Amino acid sequence: MLPAFRLDCAWHAGESPNGRFAFALFNLGSEPIVGFQLAYTALTRVIDPAACTDAVFVLRDANYHAYAPPEGFVLAPGAAWRFTVGGLHRPARHCTDGAKSAILTTSDGRHHAVAVSDLLLEGRVSEPPPVLLPEGRLTLPFALQPWPRRIDAVPGDGVLAVLYPGEGAGTDDIRAVHAVLALFQRLFPAGHAPFALGASPQGRPIRFVLDVGLGPEAYALAFSRDGVELRHGGPAGRQYGLTSLAQLLDGARRDPRRFRFPVGGGIEDAPRHGWRGCHLDVSRQFYPLGDVLRLLDILAWFKLNTFHWHLTDDEAWRLEIRRYPELTSVGVLRGPDEPLRPQLGNGAEPMGGFYSQDDVRAAVAHAAMLAIEVVPEIDIPGHNAATLVALRELTDGQEAPDSYHSVQGYANNALNPAIPLTYTFLEAVLDEMAELFPSRYVHIGGDEVADGAWLASPMARALMEREGLAGTFELQSHFLGRVQAMLTARGKVLAGWNEVAHGGGVEAEGTLLMAWEKPEVGIALAREGYDVVMTPGQAYYLDMVQGKEWQEPGASWAGTVPPAHTYGYEAAGDFPAELQDRLKGVQACIWSEHFLSRAYFNRLVFPRLPAIAEAAWTPADAKDWERFCAIVPLAPQL
Ligand code: ACM
C-alpha cells in the first residue's frame, strides 16, 4: 500500500557549520493529524539538538533522529510540515546522505510508513553520476576474468556445442564438471550450458591430468580442434580450469563479435595471492541465506577463495548461538517499539533476520564445494550495541551512560573487559563457532573502539589499576590477549582489523590483520610481525562512492573510489621487498550501511568486485584496465 506520508529532504550548504537539512513532511491521507512525532534515519547525524527551526528535537540514537512539530501544529491533508535541522556532524556530500527511512507516530501511539527518496541539493543543480566504465579494448578475444598469468591461446571461428569429460576421466573429474556446470546454471539460469557429462559429436572432450608439480590452485589448458587438455594441481586448480573454460565458451556465445573459444595454444595459470577475499557486512542490512549463497557463487566465478562473513555489529547480532538465544531475538529486531530502534533504512515495521546454525552449515558447505573458506567475524570488543541491549548483564551497572561514543554514534557500545561474564559469554560463543566453522581463522574485529571507552566503568578502572594498564587501548590489548588465548585453546588463529595492534596488540606471529584505514598501516603491521591482508578503504571498500558527483550514491569518508582506481591499486607495490612475505593477499569489503536495495548493492559492488578479484589473481604486469572494461559487462550480479 502506498504510504499516506512522504518526507522530502534537501540539503543547503550554507548556515550551520555543516549546512542544514530542509524537510517537508507531506500528509497525503484523508485526515488531519496533530500531536505526532516524526523519526528518520540518516548517516549525517545531528550533534547540536538546538539547531533546528519549526521543530522540537526529541532524541537521537546513533542514526535515528526523532522530532515533533511545534505545539498545536495541525498537518492537514494535502499540506506539508516544513522544518530545518542543522548542527550536523559533517556536511552532506551525496544523494544518499539524507533520510534513509522515516516513521510517523500519531498521538495514539500507532506507527505509520513514510516514503523517502534521495537527498536533494539546494542552491545549485546536482550533478548526475559520471560514466565510470569505458567500452574498453581487447588485444585477445577471450572472456576471461580474472585474466590468467600466461596466455597464448589461438582464437577459433564459430562456437562449439559443449565440452565434456573425455576418455579416462575419473569420477572426481566428472563430478567437478557437474559442479562447475551447476555453478554456471545458478549464475546464468538463461545461459546455454557450457558442459555436458556425456560425449557429444558436436562438442569437444576435456582430458584431465593431475600434475602435483603445479600448485593446488594452479591449472594449465592446452587447446586443439580435437579437445582440451586440463592439467591441474588439485581440486581447486581443476575447478578454476573448468571455470575458465565455462567463461571462454559463455563469452563466445554471448558476444561472438568480441569473444572466441580457442582452438590452439594454451593458458598457464596460478593465483598471485593466497588470500583472495570478499567480506560481507550482514549486520547493517540482512541478506537472506539465498543471497549469501549467490554471493559465494559469484566469488567462485572470479576465483576468490575467502568469504569473510561479518556477522555482528552495533546494528544486529546475526549468528544463532544456542547458549544465548536473546542475541538473535532481541539482538536483531529493530523497530519503533523494540529495544533496538530503527537504523539505516528500517521503517515502521520491525525488521529482524539472522542465520540459524543450519543456515551457517549450509553456507559453509556451499563455500567448501566451491573451494572457498568461510572466515566468520564476531566484532569485539567495540561495535556491540545490539549485544549489550540483548544481554544487559554484560554491562557495568555503575558505568555512566553515554560516557563514550563510537565513530558511528553509538554510546557505550564495547564489551567490558572487566566483567567476568564477558569471558563466559565469549567462551560459549567461540565454542559454538569452532563447531560451525572449519576455518583456521576466527576474525574478532577489534576495530574502532572509541578512545575513552571504559574509563567511566568502575570495574574497568579497577582492572586497569590491578594490571597496570594505561588507557583504553592497553585495556583493549589485555582483553584481546585473553581472546587470543581462547582461540588458541580451540585450535584457531586470531584474525582482526588493524586496530588489534593498538595499545601493545596481541602475539603477532601467525596473527592476521586487515589493513583498512590506509595502505601505510599494512606496512607498519608487517614490520611488527603480523601477517597482513590489504583492504584499504581508499581502494577496496565497495560502499564508497565511485564519483564526486552529488547523484553518485554511497559513503565518502574514505574518499572517492572509481572502478579504475580500485583496479589499478597495487597492494604489493606499497610493501618493501623484505616484508612481502607478510602480505597474504587482498580483500574486497562490502559494508552495508547504504545497501538498502539490491539495485544499490549491484551498482556499487560491480564492477569493483571483479576488479579486486583480478588484482588478487593476475600478476601486475598482466593487468590491463581497458581489457577489464571490455570483459566485465559479462559479470554475474547478485
Ligand atoms: C572498519 O571499517 N571499521 C574495519
Pocket test for ligand 1, best of 308, 406, 497 (most atoms within 8 A of CB): 497
The model's pTM: 0.98
**Domain locations along the chain:** 5-122, 150-269
Place 14 in a pLDDT band, splitting at 50, 70 and 90: confident
Whether a cis peptide bond, with omega within 30° of 0, leads into 607 is yes
User: Which whole number is the average pLDDT over 212-217?
Assistant: 96
- In the chain, the percentage of residues whose pLDDT exceeds 70 is 100
Q: Return d(Cα 273, Cα 328) in angstroms, integer.
A: 36
Contact 503/475 with Cβ under 8 angstroms?
Answer: yes
Burial of 30 (C-beta count, 10 Å sphere; 0-12/13-18/19+)? exposed
| Cell 575467502 found at | 306
At position 205, the amino acid (one-letter code) is P
Place 107 in a pLDDT band, splitting at 50, 70 and 90: very high
Q: Return d(Cα 321, Cα 357) in angstroms, integer.
A: 8
User: Which whole number is the average pLDDT over 336-344?
Assistant: 98
| Ligand 1 atom closest to 537 (CA) | 2
Q: What is the pLDDT of residue 16?
A: 82
Burial of 338 (C-beta count, 10 Å sphere; 0-12/13-18/19+)? middle
Q: Return d(Cα 591, Cα 92) in angstroms, integer.
A: 19
Q: What are the tens digits of pLDDT across the range 44-57?
A: 999 999 999 999 99
CA of 497 to the centre of ligand 1 (A): 7
What does the radius of gyration of the chain's CA atoms come to, in whole angstroms? 26
Q: What is the pLDDT of residue 159?
A: 79
Q: What are the tens digits of pLDDT across the range 58-104?
A: 999 999 999 999 999 999 999 999 999 999 999 999 999 999 999 99
Q: Cα dist. 425→380, 394, 419 in Å?
A: 12, 9, 10
Active-site residue numbers? 313, 383, 448
Q: What are the tens digits of pLDDT across the range 179-205?
A: 999 999 999 999 999 999 999 999 999
Contact 515/496 with Cβ under 8 angstroms?
Answer: no
Place 309 in a pLDDT band, splitting at 50, 70 and 90: very high
Q: Return d(Cα 457, Cα 472) in angstroms, integer.
A: 11
Q: What is the pLDDT of residue 530?
A: 98
The residue among 548, 546, 634, 544 whose CA lies nearest residue 595 is: 544
Helix (H) or strand (E) holding 52: strand 52-53
Q: Return d(Cα 276, Cα 109) in angstroms, integer.
A: 50
Place 209 in a pLDDT band, splitting at 50, 70 and 90: very high
Q: Cα dist. 566→529, 536, 609, 611 in Å?
A: 27, 10, 9, 7
**Residue 61, all three cell numbers:** 540514537
The residue among 122, 92, 121, 115 whose CA lies nearest residue 40 is: 115
Q: What are the tens digits of pLDDT across the range 444-485?
A: 999 999 999 999 999 999 999 999 999 999 999 999 999 999
| Ligand 1 atom closest to 497 (CA) | 4
Q: Return d(Cα 281, Cα 410) in angstroms, integer.
A: 18
Main-chain phi, psi angles of 206, to 5 degrees: -110, 130
Q: Cα dist. 528→1, 485, 494 in Å?
A: 57, 19, 16
Fold classified for 150-269: Chitobiase; domain 2 (3.30.379)
pLDDT mean across residues, the chain: 97
Q: Cα dist. 558→19, 203, 535, 542 in Å?
A: 21, 50, 12, 11
Q: Return d(Cα 458, Cα 436) in angstroms, integer.
A: 36
Report which protein residue has its CA nearest ligand 1's atom 3.
Answer: 447
Main-chain phi, psi angles of 592, to 5 degrees: -110, 10
User: Which whole number is the average pLDDT over 23-45?
Assistant: 98
Q: What are the tens digits of pLDDT across the range 229-286?
A: 999 999 999 999 999 999 999 999 999 999 999 999 999 999 999 999 999 999 999 9
- For the domain spanning 5-122, the CATH number is 2.60.40.290
Place 1 in a pLDDT band, splitting at 50, 70 and 90: confident
Q: What are the tens digits of pLDDT across the range 411-454?
A: 999 999 999 999 999 999 999 999 999 999 999 999 999 999 99
**Residue 128: pLDDT over 90:** no
Q: Return d(Cα 23, Cα 67) in angstroms, integer.
A: 11
Q: What is the pLDDT of residue 415?
A: 98
User: Which residues lie with the beta carbon below 6 Å from any ligand 1 atom?
Assistant: 447-448, 497, 516
| Cell 543456515 found at | 359
CA of 32 to the centre of ligand 1 (A): 45
CA of 447 to the centre of ligand 1 (A): 6
Q: Cα dist. 335→288, 331, 347, 349, 351 in Å?
A: 19, 12, 7, 6, 6
**Residue 573: pLDDT over 90:** no
- ∠ CA 105-108-110, nearest 5°, is 45
Q: What is the largest CA-CA distance in the chain?
A: 85
Report which protein residue has its CA nearest ligand 1's atom 1.
Answer: 447
**Residue 482, all three cell numbers:** 585473553
Place 148 in a pLDDT band, splitting at 50, 70 and 90: very high
How does DSSP classify residue 530? -
